[in-house]
Amino acid sequence: MTKEWKRIEILGDIAIIGIPFNANYDLLYSKANEVMKNNKYVKSVWGRYRDTKGDFRLPTYTHIAGEKRSETIFRENGCIYFLDITKVFYSSKLSYEHLRIASQVKRGEKIINMFSGYGPFSILSAKIGSPAVVYSFDINPYAYYYMMANVGLNKTWSVIPIYGDAFKKIYSVDDVDRVICPLPEKSREAYEVAKQKVKPGGIIHLFTEVEVAKGEDPVKKALNEYKGAYFGRIVRSVKPYLYHVILDIKVD
C-alpha cells in the first residue's frame, strides 16, 4: 500500500478508503480495484472525505468501485449491526470504547444513551451488562430505523429506541444510573443535561472536544474541566491540537 492510502476499513462487504486532501483519483480508483481483487468478499468500495457536517455528523462519501450500495451488515464485539454508511455516523475508532463502557454496566441498571446512532453502545451494553433498560435517543430518523433493526437482530429487548432530540425528550424518561454522551461537539451542553438525569453516585461517560496548546496534555485538561472526572483517554486526533477525549465522571 502506498503511503498515500493510510487507512482502509472493511465493514461487512464494503471497503472504505480515507481520501486525503491531495488525492490522486486515478490512484484512488486503482486502489479500490486492488482492494476488491485481494478481498473477494468486498462487493463495494467507497471513499470517505475527512469532513463532518450537519446535526447527524456525517462525512461526505463517494462511490468508487463495485456495487453502488452503501448498506451492509457487520459484526463487532460479538454483536451484529445493519447500517448505511452514508446515512448514519460510523467510526471504527469507537469499537474499543463500545466494549470498555459496556463492560462497566451492572445488572439491573437504568441507562440513557443520549446520541445512540445505529445502536452500538446501547446494544452491547444490553448484551453483556444485563441492564433493566437502555433509553436510546437519536435525532436522525435513519439512525432510529437502523437501531430498531439492530435491537431485533441482537434480541436486546431492554434497549428502547426513542426518535427525537435528546436535549428535549430526555426529561420524559426515568432518572438513571448511567448516561452515555457520545457527541463531542456538544459535550458541555450534554453534560449539564446528563447531570439532571443521573442518580447520585451514577456515572456519565462524556465524549468531549479538547483544544490544547503545543505540549499540553488533552486528557489532563479535560479531567480538570469536569468535577468528578476520574478517567480519561484520547479517542482520536481531529486535527493538530484538537482531540476527542472520553471521560468517565462520577456524579455526587
Q: Would you say residue 199 has pLDDT above 70? A: yes
Q: How far is CA 54 from the centre of its chain?
A: 15
Please state the rounded mean pLDDT for residues 192-221. 97
pLDDT at residue 7 in the model: 74
179-214 burial, b at 16+ Cβ within 10 Å, e below that, comes to: bbbbbbebbeebbebbbebbeeebbbbbbbbbebee
Please state the rounded mean pLDDT for residues 228-235. 97
Mean of per-residue pLDDT scores for the chain: 94
pLDDT at residue 57 in the model: 82
Q: Would you say residue 234 has pLDDT above 70? A: yes
Q: Which residues contact 64 (CB under 8 A, 6 or more apart)?
A: 17, 28, 29, 32, 45, 46, 47
Grid coordinates 456525517 are at which residue?
A: 58
pLDDT at residue 8 in the model: 87
- Name residue 111's beta-bridge partners: 134, 178
Stated pTM of the model: 0.93
